Amino acid sequence: MTEITAGKKFAKLARLGYVARGVVYLTVGGLALLAALGKGGETTYSKGALLEIMSQPFGDLILVIIIVGLFGYAAWRLVQAIKDTDDHGRSGKGLAVRAGLLVSAVTHTLLALWAIGMLTGIGGGANDGSRQLMASEWGQWLLLAVGIAVIGAGLAHIYKGWTARFERYMKVPRQKQAWTTPICRFGLLARGVVWCIVGVFLIESAWQAHGGEVRGMAAALEALRATSFGPWLLGVVAAGLFAFGLYSLLEAVYRRVDVSFSDT
């Protein structure tokens, strides 16, 4: 009975994690969409989205809830990777997917810790750390490996969105699938495109011996805006990132989160 109760509580924490991720992407996508429409928005990234949230009324309280959710999401990713809750198996492909889940656990933990630093006023220094990383030879190789992995994750998102493989992990009522499936597919495709661009930026940074700061999501969106069809392309991708936020909220409700803490 205790194990069942613990599993249910953990499932609620994991679902809060999907909500937290959803709020971040709704903010990123919404701001970028406003920028594409010339309505005063901006291209930003996960940390920028948290800063924007913190500046709103009751922002500190909302940020605390998001931080709890991010830790919950990281814990869920860790459980997914270790316990293989989605049955990816131990094949080369399965281990690659589970490694990606483990990386996701680390990145969301770091984002939560960064948010705590901002909330308590002791954050900062990330850019200096990036420069020091890129100044070392091993750091450049690490960036190259991360860039390749990010492109792989982006391609995986595109494949997942194109084939709608996410449906096997969600229990969406049949009568709602007519509108939920397109939203989820669009969101995954858009996030995949952005991740591929970010991966290229990381590889480019690793290639340059002493480059500048590591460029991420905000730079990827700016790169889209700099193209000949910039505002339109940025608008489509921004809407896609907003859709990915909605996809995350749908996962919070319909995602299969089956966790058992028993050893048997």
Residue 125 confidence (pLDDT): 47
Alpha-carbon distances, residue 55 vs 63, 71, 252 (angstroms): 10, 21, 25
- For the chain, 264 residues long, the average pLDDT of each consecutive 10-residue run is 69 94 93 83 79 88 94 94 89 88 90 89 56 62 81 91 91 94 95 88 71 64 74 87 95 87 52
Predicted structure pTM score:
0.86
Alpha-carbon distances, residue 230 vs 49, 189, 236 (angstroms): 22, 18, 10
- Gyration radius from the chain CA atoms: 19
Residue 126 confidence (pLDDT): 47
Sign of CA pseudo-dihedral 39, 220, 164, 107: negative
| Angle, CA 137 vertex, CA 131 and CA 141 arms, to 5° | 95
Q: Give the SS3 label for residue 91.
A: coil
